Amino acid sequence: MNSIHSMCIAPMMECTDRHFRYFLRLITSHAFLYTEMVTTGALLHGDSMRFLAHDPVEYPLGLQLGGSDPQEMASCAQMAAQAGFNEVNINAGCPSDRVQSGRFGACLMAEPERVADCVSSMCESSNVPVTVKTRIGIDDQDIHDALNTFVDQVSRAGCRTFIIHARKAWLKGLNPKQNRDVPPLNYARVLRLKQDFPHLEIILNGGILSMQQAIDLSAGIDGVMIGREAYSNPFILHEVDRLFYSGEKKYYLTPHEVIDQYLPYVERQLSAGVRLSSITRHLMGLFSGMPGAKAWRRHLSEQANRPNADVGVIEHAAQLVNSERLTAKTLTQSPVNGQRTAQAAWL
């Protein structure tokens, strides 16, 4: 694959904040990262720097934007460009009631003209690329006609990249969590969309749990996006650079080495007044599936909220799995089942 979007990490509320994104950059240098969704109102009328703040090490990085007013979206696109983001992604896929009341998210699939107007205004206001993340349909929409109509109209306005969650969204009757699991996945529909629009970049999202699955699904499209699995098991991404970016080989940090390199960042954030628990909550899954993972999680959970908690909490938690430290300097993720292979030797 040659696309910058060959592997993307989904925007996830209360997950993909700047602390988690910096952490992920120690595992993969090239995967495309996204912020949590930010509303136009928060940027235009709130503390914009709180939402726009990021470290250049996070690039490539996209700002996911929630809104539906073309002028407000254009103003926010300008802010994103000035802040240095590589992309602005329009949220046209979130099914929550709160998002619907703001007239954005998945309900925008019923208003392709409005989304097209937003894209057009955003493209005119700045040179930052505008992309759209959406579903294959909502409610009783025909997933063939409605999706093609949506993509056709929005692409004509200037959007060249569409991230498609391969499920319908049910705006009534299912909550956001159920909308991530209950509607059946339809990967074939996303592949067909690429065939219908070969000149567009189509990224597939939804239900990806392993690197082998990601590799298999990437055939015939331009990239894949992983969501919850990347958060609950972030080390699954450690071979992304080699597998998805021109076969590039790199030195793979072990989980303990990731922690060692992350500690200076944690110290800087603590000095700036950030609570340790705001950072350690993103680290819980680092040792997922490995001996000692439970002790690691338990210590962070019990100690990070204590007054004056510092990096020593993380160091001690890592020592609890020290007897199972990885001895291999290069780890290999098995593409068959996502588990560590014998090359990840345990002491």
107 noted as active-site residue: no
Please give the Cα distance from 284 to 267 (Å, whole number).
Answer: 18
Which positions ≥6 away from 13 have C-beta within 8 Å?
36, 37
Closest Cα partner for 26 from 329, 258, 314, 219?
A: 258
CB of 154 closer than 8 Å to CB of 113 = no
**H or E segment and range at residue 341:** none
Q: How big is the CA angle at 29 (ends 23 and 32), to the nearest 5 degrees?
A: 85
What is the distance of C-alpha 88 from the center of its chain?
A: 13
User: Distance between CA atoms of 148 and 166, rounded to whole angstroms?
Assistant: 14
What is the DSSP code string of 92-123?
Answer: E----HHHHHTT-GGGGGG-HHHHHHHHHHHH
Determine how many CB atoms are found less than 10 A away from the CB of residue 45.
10
DSSP string computed for 172-211 = TT--HHHHHHSSPP-HHHHHHHHHH-TTSEEEEES---SH
| Terminal-to-terminal C-alpha distance of the chain | 36
Residue 314 structure tokens: 């993380």
8, 15, 76, 94: the catalytic one is 94
Element (H, E) at 137: strand 130-138
| DSSP one-letter code for 290 | S
CA atoms of 332 and 238, how far apart (whole Å): 8
DSSP assignment letter at 3: -
* Residues designated as active site: 94
